[in-house]
Amino acid sequence: MPAKRKPNQGAVIMTTYTTIGDVRGCCGHAHRTIEAAERCRQCDAEGCREQGGYSDRRVMRSDGAPLDESEMDAIHAARS
């Protein structure tokens, strides 16, 4: 008789990213990569600039955990 599996045993938890700002709010997306989240932030900033405003959105982990150094480096590389 096979052993019973525990719920979520062996499940891979994927980190997702979003963009959020105090004024602009959240983009509502769960981006699979930090680069995709940065592109989303850039598109929002460009759209705001075209209308004479600015975007206060920043890239965040969807789970609210702080970005680590490698994630910050990826954001800076995506901006270059």
Residue pLDDT, tens place only, 31-61:
999 999 999 999 999 999 999 999 999 999 9
Report how far Cα 53 is from the mean position of its chain's Cα atoms. Answer: 22
| Six token digits for residue 78 | 């995506």
- Answer for the pair 25, 62: CB distance below 8 angstroms, yes or no: no
| Six token digits for residue 36 | 């995709």
Report the amino acid identity of residue 11. A
Distances in whole angstroms, Cα of residue 62 to Cα of each of 19, 29, 43, 47, 57: 9, 9, 19, 23, 14
Is 50 exceeded by the pLDDT of residue 14?
Answer: yes
Span 14-42, mean pLDDT? 97
Is 50 exceeded by the pLDDT of residue 28?
Answer: yes
| Amino acid 8: pLDDT | 63
Which DSSP helix (H) or strand (E) runs through 17?
strand 17-21
